[in-house]
Chains A and B, each alone.
Chain A
Amino acid sequence: SQKIEQNSEALNIQEGKTATLTCNYTNYSPAYLQWYRQDPGRGPVFLLLIRENEKEKRKERLKVTFDTTLKQSLFHITASQPADSATYLCASWNGGYQKVTFGTGTKLQVIP
C-alpha cells in the first residue's frame, strides 16, 4: 500500500534561516503531492501542490520540490519567522482521487 513518511518529528530553527522539511513516499508514484499547515487544535490548511512533472513550485516564502528519482518532496520556508511555527503535513491521493494518505507531520519551531 502507498506510504508517506516525514522522517523528522520535530525541527527547531533560528528565525531568519531556511527551514527544510522532507517527505518520502514508497510503493507508488503519486501524480502530485500536497503540503498542509496545521496549528495546535486546528484543522490542516492547504499550502501548496506540486505535480510529478514539476521540479519546483513557489509561493511567497514557500518552495516545494519534487524528485521522482529519490521519491521525495522537500518543503522550504525561507526567512523563517516565529509565526511559521506549526506542524507541516505532506499528503497524496491515490490514482482515483478517492483516498488520501497523510504523513505524520513535522513540527517546526522557529526560535526568535
Chain B
Amino acid sequence: EAQVTQNPRYLITVTGKKLTVTCSQNMNHEYMSWYRQDPGLGLRQIYYSMNVEVTDKGDVPEGYKVSRKEKRNFPLILESPSPNQTSLYFCASRTGGGSGELFFGEGSRLTVL
C-alpha cells in the first residue's frame, strides 16, 4: 500500500530537549516536505526536498532542521524545541513533476512544555 509514515504520532516533550520526527514514503517520490498546521493559520511549509541531498527552506523554517540522505526518508529535527513549536506536523511527498498531488502522512502532534 502506498503510504507516508510518520513517527511518533504523539509526543509531549520539554523545552530544549532535542527530538526527531521521522518520515518515510514507499512510493519512490523525489519530492518530500514538512508542514505545520495551527488553528487559524492553516498548513505552512517548513522545509522541502527536491531529491536526495537537496533541501531548502519553506515559509517557516526557523527552529527546524532536515536531512535527506535516502530517497525514502526525510526526518524533521527540532534541536531545541520551544513552546511555540507546539503544533500538528505533516510530512508529504509527491513525484518530481506532474500535477503536484501531495500524499500526506497521518500527522504528528507535538506538545512542548
Interface residue tally of chain B, by bracket?
Answer: 20 to 34
Q: Is A77 close to B, CB under 8 A? A: no
Asked whether A44 lies within 8 Å of B43 as measured between CB atoms, the reply is: yes
Report how far A49 CA is from B100 CA in the complex, Å.
9
Tally chain A residues at the interface, Cβ within 8 Å: 22
Asked whether B40 lies within 8 Å of A43 as measured between CB atoms, the reply is: no
Interface flags for A83-112 (1: CB within 8 Å of B; 0: not) read: 000000101010001111111110000000
Asked whether B59 lies within 8 Å of A105 as measured between CB atoms, the reply is: no
Asked whether B48 lies within 8 Å of A98 as measured between CB atoms, the reply is: yes
Chain A residues packing against B (C-beta within 8 Å): 32, 34, 36, 41-46, 49, 89, 91, 93, 97-105
Q: List 26 A-B contacts (CB under 8 A).
A: A34-B100, A34-B102, A41-B107, A42-B106, A42-B107, A43-B4, A43-B92, A43-B107, A44-B43, A44-B90, A45-B104, A49-B99, A49-B101, A89-B43, A98-B48, A98-B50, A99-B48, A100-B100, A100-B102, A101-B45, A102-B35, A102-B42, A102-B43, A102-B44, A103-B42, A104-B40
